[in-house]
Structures are given as C-alpha cells and as structure tokens.
C-alpha cells in the first residue's frame, strides 16, 4: 500500500510538471534605457552586439548577473545590457509587444498576485498584447480585458510600439557604427583622410561619406555647420561628440556608439580606438554633440 501511494504521488507530480512547465526564468521587473545602449550576447563589452536600443526604450529585466549586467528582453530578443545605463523599475507600463501563453489553464488575474481574482484561463498559443511588467508578472490586454499573467507561462515576441519607434529613429546608425568599428586600429596621421591613416575629423568624414552623408573637414567646422545640437543626456548611437583641446575651443571629434562610449581616431593612442565618455580627460574637455543622421 505504501509503495502504491508513493507511485500515485510521483505520477501526480510528473503530470503537474508536464501541464504547467514554466516558459521563462523569473523576471525582476522592467527598466528604461538612459542612453542608446547595445544588447549583447553575453554580460560584457567583449560579447557580440545583437542590436542597439534607443534612449527611453523599455526592456524586461529577467535576472541580475551580479557583475553589473542585467539579462533583459528587448523587442522579444533576450540578451544582456549594462546596468549602469538602465533605470530599473519593478513595475513599468510600456508596449512590450506580443506575448504567447505556454501552458494549460494558465490564469489571467486581476492583479499581479496568485491571490488575486481569476478573470479567465488560457492554453498554449493564446496571443496577447503585453502592456506592462510588475516583478514576475506581465500586464496583458486580451479581448478588451486587462489583467496579469505570470511571466513563467508566457513568451515574448517583438513588434510593440517600442520596436516601431526604434526602427524609425535608427536612421542607419547601426550601419554607420559597423563601418566605424571595422576601422578600429587604423593608425592616426595628422591631416589623414584615408584608410592609410586618419586624423579625428578625417576619420569621421570618411565614415559618413561611405553612407552618402557629407560632412565638413575639420572638427570645428563639423561642430559649427553640420547636424543639430543634442544634449549629452540625449545622446544616441551615431551622434558626433566634440571636445576642446589646449589650443582650440573645438579640437577633437568622435562618434558615440552607445554604452557610454565613443569611437575616434586618437593622436594619443596613435590609432582608432573606443573610449569611455566618462574618462576624466574627456569629461573635462567635453564641448557638445551634434546629430547628423
């Protein structure tokens, strides 16, 4: 009798696990991007770039790696973003795209709690608009009704309003950045404007010329005549960033690439490199930014 009872219990556990297998890891909540920020395949700047998110876009935070990086879902794509440039919020209302139920008799509740009233139940394949996140719960809209479903039983796909805005606002920045990064390590030559060697403004002028954007020759001219001014807090990938030198109000230019970094042809390094905007020299010599895309 004892063995028969144990067998029944084990069978019941296996059936329950089969019926309601979690679809994703636990969520921590949501976040918005403080700046243009890259989604990477791993928790570090040496990991592959999947795509670039734009300032103020929302992400779902699925876990904290404990290394200064969050695992997130951006436009239905899972990857990693630096926590330094994310504004975390346990509860966040935003258009995250579509969600698909994964499980049998998954309950839609009136609030993000297992103790909240049940508004309905759904099976695998039911599609809903995700309109927010609250800890490990998604706020969803379905058939004119709004409620909450545990993130354990829903997968996320792209296509929300954030995705539409990101496509409209990118304006080819990703392609320009790809060109710029393909020239990393190219030597610095004063007055240089070719792949044999660049000075700072010659490098920027060359990059944009490859994408049919004409810029003036010097850093000072680019700052004065090209693009529209952008606040440092509103920087997006592809924006030009300008710095003063000991002899000029504007004597150096680079291009912002996200993650608080910019790419430039550096006379000090003797080549094209990527540098943090937060490094002491560039913080104290920062002049402004222009958007040319």
Q: What is the pLDDT of residues 192-217, one digit of tens each?
A: 999 999 999 999 999 999 999 999 99
Q: What angle do CA 83, 84, 90 make, to 5 degrees?
A: 45
Residue 1 pLDDT greater than 70, yes or no: no
Q: What is the pLDDT of residues 41-82, one digit of tens each?
A: 899 988 888 778 878 889 999 999 999 999 999 988 889 999
Q: What is the mean pLDDT of residues 271-291?
A: 95
pLDDT of residue 281: 94
pLDDT of residue 16: 36
DSSP class per residue in 10-54: HHHHHHHHHHT--SSPPP-EEEEESS-EEEESSSSTTSPEEEEE-
CATH code given to domain 171-291: 3.90.1720.10
Residue 160 pLDDT greater than 80, yes or no: no
pLDDT of residue 49: 81
Cβ atoms 152, 138 nearer than 8 A: no
CATH 2.30.30.40 in the chain: give the residue spans.
22-166
Catalytic residue ranges: 200, 252, 264
What is the CATH architecture assignment of 22-166?
Answer: Roll (2.30)
pLDDT of residue 250: 96
pLDDT of residue 170: 55
Phi, psi of 227 (to 5 degrees): 75, -170
CATH 3.90.1720.10 in the chain: give the residue spans.
171-291
Q: Crossing angle for the helix pair 173-182 and 200-209, nearest 10 degrees? A: 130
Cα-atom radius of gyration of the chain, to the nearest Å? 24
DSSP class per residue in the chain: -HHHHHHHHHHHHHHHHHHT--SSPPP-EEEEESS-EEEESSSSTTSPEEEEE-TT-EEEEEEE-SSSEEEEEETTEEEEEEGGGEEEESEEEEEEEEEEE-SSSEEEESSSSTTSPEEEEE-TT-EEEEEEEETTEEEEEETTEEEEEEGGGEEEES-SHHHHHHHHHHTTHHHHHHHHHHTTTPBB-TT-EETTEE-HHHHHHHHHHTTT----SSHHHHHHHSSEEE-GGG--TT-EEEE--SS-SS-EEEEEEETTEEEEEETTTTEEEEEETTSHHHHHHEEEEEE--
Q: What is the mean pLDDT of residues 123-149?
A: 94
pLDDT of residue 20: 41
Dihedral sign computed on CA atoms, order 144, 110, 138, 164: positive
* Percent of all residues in the chain with a pLDDT value above 90, rounded to a whole number: 65
pLDDT of residue 104: 94
């Amino acid at each position: 009798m004892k063995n028969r009872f144990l067998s029944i219990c084990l069978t019941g556990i296996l059936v329950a696990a089969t019926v309601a297998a979690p679809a994703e890891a636990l969520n921590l909540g949501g976040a918005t991007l403080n700046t243009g920020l890259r989604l990477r395949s791993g928790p570090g700047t040496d990991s592959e770039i999947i795509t670039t998110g734009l300032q103020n876009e929302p992400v779902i935070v699925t876990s904290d790696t404990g290394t200064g990086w969050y695992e997130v879902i951006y436009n239905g794509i899972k990857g990693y973003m630096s926590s330094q440039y994310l504004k975390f919020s346990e509860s966040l209302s935003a258009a995250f795209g579509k969600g698909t139920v994964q499980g049998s008799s998954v309950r839609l509740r009136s609030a993000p709690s297992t103790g909240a009233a049940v508004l309905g139940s759904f099976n695998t394949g039911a599609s809903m608009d995700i309109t927010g996140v609250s800890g490990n719960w998604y706020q969803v809209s379905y058939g004119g009704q709004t409620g909450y479903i545990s993130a354990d039983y829903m997968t996320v796909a792209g296509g929300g309003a954030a995705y539409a805005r990101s496509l409209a606002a990118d304006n080819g920045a990703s392609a320009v950045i790809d060109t710029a990064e393909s020239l990393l390590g190219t030597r610095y030559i004063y007055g240089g404007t070719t792949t044999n060697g660049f000075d700072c403004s010659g490098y920027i002028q060359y990059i944009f010329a490859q994408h049919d954007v004409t810029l003036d020759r010097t850093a000072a001219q680019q700052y004065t005549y090209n693009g529209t001014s952008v606040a440092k807090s509103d920087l997006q990938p592809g924006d030009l960033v300008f710095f003063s030198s000991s002899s000029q109000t504007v004597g150096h230019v680079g291009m912002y690439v996200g993650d608080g970094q910019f790419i430039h042809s550096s006379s000090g390094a003797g080549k094209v490199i990527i540098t943090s905007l937060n490094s002491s020299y560039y913080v104290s010599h920062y002049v402004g930014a222009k958007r040319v895309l």
